[in-house]
Structure 1
Amino acid sequence: MRKITPGTRHPLFGVDQTRRIEVSAAENLPPHTLMQRAGLAVARLALAVAPHAQRIWIACGPGNNGGDGLEAAIHLQRWGKQPVVTWLGDVQKVPPDTAAAYQQLMDAGIAIEAHPSGNFDLCIDALLGIGGQLREPYGQMADWVRHINASGAPVLSVDTPTGLHADTGQTTKLHVQASHTLSLLTLKPGLFTANGRDAIGTLWLDTLGLAPGTWAECELTAWLNEKPSQATRPHASHKGSYGDVAVIGGAPGMTGAALLAASAALHAGAGRVFVGLLDDHAMTVDVQQPELMFRPVSSLELSRLTVVCGCGGGQAVAQVLLAVLGSSAPVVLDADAINIIAENSSLQTALVARSTRKSVTVLTPHPLEAARLLGKTVHQVQHDRLSAVTDLAHRFACTVVLKGSGTLIASPGQIPVINPTGNARLATAGTGDVLAGMLGAQLAAGHTGFEAARRAVYRHGELADAWPEQRPLTAGTLAIAWGT
């Protein structure tokens, strides 16, 4: 068993893949072994997270997740705890493993209570796990979910909190809010994106004694992004070794967005950073950052640069998009550049054509921008973020970064990545522009679009996670923080 924290790469498997792994493993083990191991793992973690708990409510559902809870109750009683078991199952209808666990529970002399009563030191949510459909709990299950959330006791969910979809991270309105979640056999993508991170609390994994080779033949759904390595710069290098970035944006009234992206690119290691503002009356020097070089957009030699386009671009960015898309430059398209492309089929064609010329492109939409590109609603995008980002990557033949809780990165020919870093302190104006600039610097350094996105997204979120509580996080301070 291990605690899952950012930094390490982990394979993520959806519900269908996890069930195939489970069936394959069970074929080579004595009957009921996996459920027995699961129950032991749940009981062990219960002791670890609440060592002084005595009275423990185990809310068990009608399927195998409930069976895991029944098994856990047996161990907890043996270890001197007072398990209070409620169960929604019917012994005549439950799966064989759960029926066996029920019989073991009866043999241990543990009674099943009709309703939870009194106070508890710990609640174990073994109601649905990955077996439930995304529909609102009702009846007794709904009552128990409300009781768990209102108990005031720590909550340990088995596999996934009840009401969380393991594939998508979507939750029902009424769902268990876990303090800890023990994922069994595999890690599931829904634990890391959409509403998953808010629902799961601290995440743990127990593979139930299976060797990694058990799932070698099972197709991954995604990878959990890992902390990128930081290469030491050779002493015999110079500014030309790290590439030039040009930020094109900053229409009237939105100069700040372009400056934030430029500042981020500069501090993330770009050799030189040019700024092409889309405002004829804008500044020509930033006295706070004199390293930034301002140029008319028409004078920029795009083929020699990495271009970050769209930050604060407004409608004015439409004038330069065809030239940007037609260039051989590696390009990051953000904000208004994405919105304008979504409305213009000719620009979409030009975007797709870049892949045939082997030109690198990275799109960085938030959910609304992604919805515009796909011709869908935000709700549809957020309902299945992994499918949305994969669809975008294939439709436009480029790397796509779908921002949000559990930012997703997809690219044709690559297994998607879900990023584990970042928090709600990034929900402030300009942080997306900062990410675009960071990404531009990684492209300029020679990374592929997918690798540049993976590196920039991880570091962007990592900075927010390490940000001092007493210090306000603003886009401007984030932009200069890469090397801290």
Structure 2
Amino acid sequence: MPSQNFPTGPSGARPVVATRREALYNVETTRRIEREALAHRPIHALMSRAGLSVARLALALRPHARTIWVACGPGNNGGDGLVAAAHLHRWAQAQGGSPRVVVTHWTRDSSDDSRLPADARQALAAAQQSGVEFAEQPPDEFDLAIDALMGIGAMRPPEGRLGAWLSLLRTTPELVLCVDLPSGLNADTGALEPTADTSPHLRPGPRHTLSLLTLKPGLFTAHGRDAAGKVWLDDLGVVPPTEPPVTAWLAGQQHPMGEKAARAHASHKGSFGDVVVIGGQGISMNGAGMTGAALLAARAALRAGAGRVFVGLLQGPGVDELTWDPVSPELMFRRPDRLLERATLREGCVVCGCGGGDAVRTVLPRVLSGATRLVLDADALNAIATDTSLQSLLRDRQGRGWSTVLTPHPLEAARLLGSDTNTVMADRLRAAQALADGFGVVCVLKGSGTLITAPSEIPWINPTGNAALATAGTGDVLAGMVGSALARPFDTTGSAILGRVAEAVFQHGWLADHWPAGSALCASDLAARVRPLA
């Protein structure tokens, strides 16, 4: 029977859901919020609340745990874990001794507790006085682990005992609850410090993260999504006395999926914009046919709500031309030279590059200098990366007030930046913002936690999508969806374009997240499931 020491009432933690827009704060801003909060609260107040929240969530996630391993480090993150361990131990004692709570405490391979921060030292003393079991090594068996090894300020490589414990936390099939963020994860970038024994890609068991005080960008991009698993937030009741600058937005759902977009009865196909897809190099060009990429983009644009979609395939002379699509006969095929006419380029949104191959180089100068709304993908990006004249044309577009969206994957982004993939992945936010600022465009940097950036705008991180999208053609589908989002008349300010693009990116990932179980995701099926954008 519960005693007066057993947790009652709702926990301060709430789940972070894809449908809700959330403010994300980097380490510097989080530290500032923490300092302001500590200045108006008794010492140890934040750690006491944080530890209690961790303990409550741990029991909610695994109410029948028999053995709980709490891995604590030498900082305040470890202090939060110690407070949680003390609560869990007291509640266990009130219930007859179950679950068993075992703490391993790493103090920089030193037994000198005086080196601990004041809050963590107080938490250690309280845990010891409570009777919590301390051990040199993790228990042989446990069914819940609490990762409180390294916090947002940790810079030390995980070696020795710390590295061994972290390797176990990353590889165990049991449930792991991370305090504030997974140990070794960069809170700002989502880069994960590897251990000697594990790959940063491993996530074999259920993972949860209770982010404290603020949500951090690194939880939602790069390796963060895999390492963090399900993210929860407890702001610890802190309302900053000054408005902190937002580092990024977690882009929530702007319109419920399946909600029919309101359209005026007195409408016609021209009311919803034209999309012009130029790409799809023919097999006669150099033996590498990529016609399907352009068709996927066009089909997706049509299903996303464009009024008309034109397709210009870059096919060589003397071959049988593809003049219609039996899957989507509504698509209107034109020879590229017809679509490159000035009036056509200025009427709708051009999607250029999907399967364009080497052939796309010949049309890019006219596209860059004539299309008022433009989505550049795949081979168009690779061509621009190696041609300074095309780069100049791309930069000139911002001065004309034209809208441009780039949709690179990390390798394409690296080529555009004159960098390499490892550098891009080490700080995806920085890379995406550099592309946006450097070319005066909206950048959609694809990958886990797709980033949407624009000059002088707060970045957005998309919360949807999964590895099922790692298959050929899904990027072409996204390019078509973005083209449809920009085809209709709208406010061309940076924030408005970000919102339009973010809606397309969100739905693209949402479809993958809700894909029928047991059915492989392929791009043609994905395009067929695209829904009209609001």
The alpha-carbon distance between structure 1 residues 373 and 152, as it changes in their structure 2 partners (threshold 3 A), is closer
Q: Deviations over 1:149-189 (max 9, x none)?
A: 45543111111111211111111223695621111111111
* Aligned twin of 2:128: 106
SS in structure 1 opposite 2:55? helix
* Aligned twin of 1:227: 253
SS in structure 1 opposite 2:69? strand
Number of equivalent positions: 481
Say whether residues 1:481 and 2:524 are aligned partners.
no
Q: Deviations over 1:368-399 (max 9, x none)?
A: 11000000000000110000000000000010
How many angstroms apart in 1 are the aligned matches of 2:439 and 2:74? 44
How many angstroms apart in 2 are the aligned matches of 1:181 and 1:450? 28
Structural mapping, 1:42-441, within 5 Å: 42-80=54-92, 81-89=99-107, 90-133=112-155, 136-149=157-170, 151-174=172-195, 177=203, 179-211=207-239, 214=240, 216-229=242-255, 231-252=261-282, 253-280=289-316, 281=319, 282-300=321-339, 301-441=344-484
Contact 2:69 2:139 in 1 (8 A): no
> How does the TM-score come out when normalised to structure 1?
0.96
How many angstroms apart in 2 are the aligned matches of 1:273 and 1:158? 49
Contact 1:425 1:464 in 2 (8 A): yes
SS in structure 1 opposite 2:152? helix
SS in structure 2 opposite 1:156? strand
The 10-residue stretch of structure 1 (445-454 or 144-153) with the greater mean CA deviation from structure 2: 144-153
Contact 1:9 1:223 in 2 (8 A): yes
How many angstroms apart in 2 are the aligned matches of 1:407 and 1:171? 17
How many angstroms apart in 1 are the aligned matches of 2:158 and 2:291? 49
SS in structure 2 opposite 1:92? helix
Say whether residues 1:463 and 2:484 are aligned partners.
no
Contact 1:322 1:347 in 2 (8 A): yes
The 10-residue stretch of structure 1 (215-224 or 156-165) with the greater mean CA deviation from structure 2: 215-224
Contact 1:63 1:95 in 2 (8 A): yes
Contact 1:251 1:314 in 2 (8 A): yes
Q: How much has 1:86 moved relative to structure 2?
A: 1.4
The 10-residue stretch of structure 1 (16-25 or 150-159) with the greater mean CA deviation from structure 2: 150-159
Contact 1:421 1:465 in 2 (8 A): yes
Tell me the amino acid that sits aligned with residue 461 of structure 1: G
* Aligned twin of 1:25: 37
User: Which of these residues, 502, 510, 518, is aligned with residue 454 of structure 1?
Assistant: 502
Q: Deviations over 1:390-440 (max 9, x none)?
A: 000000001000001110000012100000100111111110000000000
How many angstroms apart in 2 are the aligned matches of 1:169 and 1:215? 28
Contact 2:350 2:371 in 1 (8 A): no
How many angstroms apart in 1 are the aligned matches of 2:442 and 2:171? 43
Q: Deviations over 1:316-360 (max 9, x none)?
A: 111111111111420000011111111111111111111111000
Tell me the amino acid that sits aligned with residue 26 of structure 2: G
Tell me the amino acid that sits aligned with residue 425 of structure 1: A
Q: Deviations over 1:121-160 (max 9, x none)?
A: 3111110021212x54111111212333455431111111
Contact 2:101 2:133 in 1 (8 A): no
Tell me the amino acid that sits aligned with residue 188 of structure 1: K
The 10-residue stretch of structure 1 (182-191 or 449-458) with the greater mean CA deviation from structure 2: 449-458
Tell me the amino acid that sits aligned with residue 54 of structure 2: V
How many angstroms apart in 2 are the aligned matches of 1:183 and 1:151? 21
Contact 1:362 1:449 in 2 (8 A): no
Q: How much has 1:299 moved relative to structure 2?
A: 1.3
Contact 2:69 2:146 in 1 (8 A): yes
Tell me the amino acid that sits aligned with residue 117 of structure 1: P
Contact 2:275 2:349 in 1 (8 A): yes
Tell me the amino acid that sits aligned with residue 287 of structure 1: P
User: Which ranges in structure 2 are unaligned for 5 or more consecutive residues?
Assistant: 1-12, 93-98, 283-288, 491-495
SS in structure 2 opposite 1:316? helix
The CA RMSD over aligned residues, in Å, is 1.6
Contact 2:464 2:506 in 1 (8 A): yes
Contact 1:120 1:151 in 2 (8 A): no
> How does the TM-score come out when normalised to structure 2?
0.87
User: Which ranges in structure 1 are unaligned for 5 or more consecutive residues?
Assistant: none
SS in structure 2 opposite 1:118? coil
Tell me the amino acid that sits aligned with residue 352 of structure 2: C
Contact 2:248 2:458 in 1 (8 A): yes
Tell me the amino acid that sits aligned with residue 130 of structure 1: I
How many angstroms apart in 1 are the aligned matches of 2:521 and 2:165? 39
Q: Deviations over 1:197-251 (max 9, x none)?
A: 111122111111123xx17522111000111226411222111110011000011
How many angstroms apart in 1 are the aligned matches of 2:41 and 2:190? 31
The alpha-carbon distance between structure 1 residues 288 and 107, as it changes in their structure 2 partners (threshold 3 A), is closer
The alpha-carbon distance between structure 1 residues 83 and 315, as it changes in their structure 2 partners (threshold 3 A), is same
How many angstroms apart in 2 are the aligned matches of 1:144 and 1:248? 53
How many angstroms apart in 1 are the aligned matches of 2:263 and 2:159? 59
The alpha-carbon distance between structure 1 residues 72 and 424, as it changes in their structure 2 partners (threshold 3 A), is same
Q: How much has 1:110 moved relative to structure 2?
A: 2.7
Q: How much has 1:452 moved relative to structure 2?
A: 2.3
How many angstroms apart in 1 are the aligned matches of 2:32 and 2:349? 44
Contact 2:82 2:124 in 1 (8 A): yes
